[in-house]
Amino acid sequence: MIELTMQDLSDIVGGQLVLADADSADSTISGEVHTDSRKVTPGALFFALPGESTDGHLFVGAAAELGASAAVVERAVDVAITQIVVPDGVAALATLAREVVARVRGRGRLKVVAVTGSNGKTTTKNMLRAILEQEGPTVAPFGSFNNHVGAPISMLGVDDDTEYLVVEMGASAIGEIASLIRIVTPDVGIVLKVGLAHVGEFGGPDAVETAKSEMVTDLPETAVAVLNIDDPRVVRMADKTRASVVWFGLDDRAEVRATDVVGSASGTSFTLLVDETSIPVDLRILGEHHAMNALAAIAATRALGVPPERAVAALGGLAKAARWRMEVQPREDGVVVINDAYNASPDSMAAALKTLAQVTAPDQRSVAVLGEMAELGEFSDEEHDRIGRLVVRLNIRKLVVVGHAARHIHNAAGLEGSWDGESVLVADADEAYDVLREELRPGDVVLVKSSGSAGLRFLGDRVAGVDG
């Protein structure tokens, strides 16, 4: 964060300044900003936010012990640390992020790129970081910091030297992306896809489309909207923005286009067609669907002046999409685990299964370990059923379905094919581990996939013998 005095910090968030004995109103703070006391480093600013299961005010003391310089609180606590008391900690966080980004923009050449979509946000954000950090000082979070708390925390990582800020914007309701856009208006806004992720919370696909379109509706004429030409719902967003539109995708009309997309066990390759040139692209990331994420990142950075050749070179050095996202975890006995269980939607589940079928050699056995796709609401039974049928149609050799909420995957697989023991329904991750320990043999390729709430990413680590 940029350097601020305690008084300046208090004035920005509209709080009451309660100074510790060792501080004055002119004392400065410029450290990291955290809401998790366990991550606090010396000089940090700690936001004590109330949560669903705990209250950040209980950890102000822990933050102080780790060296935090100040805490933003909703009520003063009996801890020897400077405190700024505000009515609403989340609102104060957003206000501070807005002001800090505005000051950095006003003093330098900061450009902001924001990305949203039902799938692929974090991978695309990581691709953007890989490209832009080769061009200049770049701030982009490690991990999926994309909500009303995580996104402002990401923004507060900028300082006066920062040239590029990459922000991931997620939503579980209409209005949430719009609120993030009001904090920081992007120079480039990306919409990847409108799918069924969180559709249960939104109330239907039309509501998801409305929410994702908030990325571009308030962009100024000077901004660029990077849109997926292959998704009809995203295409409609071009009529809702004043920004210049750049299309990416597989369609011949896309300005940034991919052809000859090929997935293999070593990664994904395609030919990039842009600016009347063709450039071979080799990604070390599993899954043909990641070609679309790469196109979005190339299109966005091209809008910022980065030559596509340099963007492609940077992407070639990206070893994996992110932790627990198509993460290849080979074992010494020849079993290969593909741990993609950070999150799941019908689209990403189907893409992961297609990748499993694609990368499994004829002399290997494909094994899918699948858990619940959460937050699908009324679409849940139908979409889990569809995934079970897809498993059979892709000729996946073994299916382990984990948890009652995912049972329709198991049931549909049994109805789709004349299986005899190829699909097993187990109660939990421990039971799944016991089954896999008995069943797996050298050469097996194992996909582990579920929503984060099912916790199968830890099962994937356990099967692979990887320490968390």
- How far CA 155 is from CA of 16, 169, 437, in Å, comes to 24, 11, 44
Q: What's the DSSP call for residue 325?
A: B
**122 annotated binding-site participant:** yes
Q: Rounded CA gap, 328 and 440, in Å?
A: 16
Give the dihedral sign, CA 181/183/186/187.
positive
**119 annotated binding-site participant:** yes
**355 annotated binding-site participant:** no
Which tokens in the block code for residue 10? 């208090």
Of 338, 336, 362, give the one whose Cα is nearest residue 450. 338
- Compute φ and ψ for 29, nearest 5 degrees: -140, 135
Distance of CA 83 to the CA centre of its chain: 32
**465 annotated binding-site participant:** no
Helix (H, G, I), strand (E, B) or coil at 267: strand
**123 annotated binding-site participant:** yes
Strand 33-34 relative to strand 28-29, pairing: unpaired
Q: Rounded CA gap, 174 and 189, in Å?
A: 17
Q: What's the DSSP call for residue 246?
A: E
Which tokens in the block code for residue 358? 């694609």
Q: Which residue has the tokens 């950070």?
A: 342
Q: Rounded CA gap, 397 and 64, in Å?
A: 54
Question: Annotated binding residues, as ranges?
Answer: 117-123
Residue positions forming the annotated binding site for ATP: 117-123
